[in-house]
Amino acid sequence: MYVHSLCGSWLDNPFWTTSFALGSNADVAKLQASGVRELWIDTARGIDVEDDEAEPAATEVAAPPAPPVPAAPAYQLPPQPKTPTREELARAAKIIQKSRDAVGSMFEDVRLGRMASAAAAMPIVEEIAGSVLRNAGALLSLVRLKQADDYTYMHSVAVSAMMVALARQLELPDAEVRECGLAGLLHDIGKIAIPPAILNKPGRLSDEEFLAVKRHPCAGHEMLRAVPDMSPLALDVCLHHHERVDGTGYPDRLSGDALSRAARMGAICDVYDAITSNRPYKAGWSPAVSLRKMAAWSKEGHLDPALFAAFVKCIGIYPVGTLVKLKSNRLAIVIDNSKSLLQPTVKVFFSAASMVYLTPTTIDLALPGPTEGIVSIEDPQTWQFEHLERYWADV
């Protein structure tokens, strides 16, 4: 049978796509064991229905003229109620795990020319977008917790989420917001053409190895061109997310107005996630340090200044996971910035005066009361803190 679509939540779907041919008894068993209870099949594309016996030809009658087809309404993202970080974290964790596995399968299908259409990836994008619209900080904080062996896939999920957040910050139409999410999900697909030994090399790349890495935008673009109905926006971001506004990027050294807005957005989101992530050859910078570095690169002409300013607004001046010092000389981790960019909710855990760990305490700095507040952003490496995520990944 050919499955046309599965009913219910994409998170209950044991496959990465909702439209596919059932090619084995193992796939049937996997589907039956899942949470999916209803589905539609396409008998024109499957071999499950025998041809009906030929019926006598009926007398032909001229058909009345077809009524005009109304224009399809503009796509709208489903409305999402705002949720606190604590509430969204559990759901975001499920979405990230499912998306990571789905992206791995999707990349392989694209490489082998088996992806039926770009629409197959949209359920992934819509789940990511839904979490971002409910609470961007929850998913974006968790997606930073990457392992070396799944960096490419988790990076794709992270950039998709940030592209959605930035597109919404720019007040783009919902259809374009979704396309930006798709572009983020697929922007690095060309990396599956890079030998793993080069991609995961812990030391400095040779000139020849670096040239191999620089080919991934063109390789990915060629793969995506073969996918039916692939979004031009996604193709553009895949090919040009390593271009820079001043013309110093690759592969085409485009600059200025030759770079689309989507490609400039992709560059910002790609850079931010890359420099905040632990890589085989470099430990990631903290979110606050990363934003400072990117602000300098923006002034130097590498990144679009206006889009970077919008990016800071949607990520937050104090992104979730930022280490801060309070007026009370205590250290805390930002765990929620959805209510206030300047006065986030923090979890206090260390006394800078006594140099001792404290019982973790949550403080909403936006609430009226004692005049507690942030006085500085701190570098976790300076304080020799490791695994700070334990203070905000389980709040």
Q: How far apart are CA 160 and CA 126, in angstroms?
A: 10
Contacts of 67 by beta carbon, 8 Å cutoff, 6+ apart: none
Written as one letter, the residue type at 154 is M
DSSP 3-state of 91: helix
Q: Could you tell me the CA-to-CA distances from 320 to 262, 333, 367, 391 in Å, in that order?
A: 25, 8, 18, 11
Single pTM value for the model: 0.83
Look at residue 316 in the predicted model and tell me its pLDDT.
83
Residues in the chain, overall count: 395
187 phi/psi in degrees, rounded to 5: -60, -30
Answer yes or no: are the C-beta atoms of 293 and 275 closer than 8 Å. Answer: yes
H helices of 60-84, where? none
For residue 70, give both structure tokens. 């109304």
pLDDT at 28: 86
Which tens digits make up the pLDDT trace of 219-229? 999 999 999 99
Q: Give me the residues paired with residue 336 across strands.
A: 345
Lookup: tokens for 143: 């997606």
On whether the CB atoms of residues 128 and 168 are closer than 8 A, the answer is no
Residue pair 139/161 in contact by the 8 Å Cβ criterion: yes
Burial class (CB in 10 A: 0-12, 13-18, 19+), 182: buried
Q: Name the DSSP letter for residue 83.
A: -
For 389, the 3-state DSSP assignment is: helix
- Kind of pairing between the strands at 345-351 and 356-364: antiparallel
pLDDT digits (tens, 9 = 90+) for 150-205: 788 999 999 999 999 999 999 999 999 999 999 999 999 999 999 989 988 888 89
Q: What is the pLDDT of residue 60?
A: 60
pLDDT along the chain (395 residues), means of 10: 81 78 84 84 78 54 68 81 84 90 91 89 94 89 75 92 96 96 97 90 90 96 95 98 96 96 98 88 82 94 96 86 92 85 89 93 86 88 74 53
Measured CA to CA, the distance from residue 339 to residue 345 in angstroms comes to 8
For tokens 């994409």, what's the residue?
A: 10
Residue 115 has what DSSP assignment? -
Predicted pLDDT of residue 168: 95
- State both tokens at 166: 């930035």
User: Which residues does residue 133 pair with via DSSP β-bridges, in sequence order?
Assistant: none
**How confident is the prediction for the chain on average, in pLDDT?**
87
What pLDDT is stored for residue 232 in this prediction?
Answer: 97
Q: The domain 85-315 is classified under which CATH number: 1.10.3210.10, 3.40.50.880, 1.10.10.10, 1.10.274.10?
A: 1.10.3210.10
What pLDDT shows up at residue 370?
A: 65
Contact 224, 235 (CB under 8 A): yes
Domain with CATH 1.10.3210.10 in the chain: 85-315
pLDDT at residue 395 in the model: 44
Q: How many CB atoms lie within 10 A of CB 69?
A: 6
pLDDT at site 359: 92
Which amino acid makes up residue 40? W
Contacts of residue 204, Cβ cutoff 8 Å, sequence gap at least 6: 281
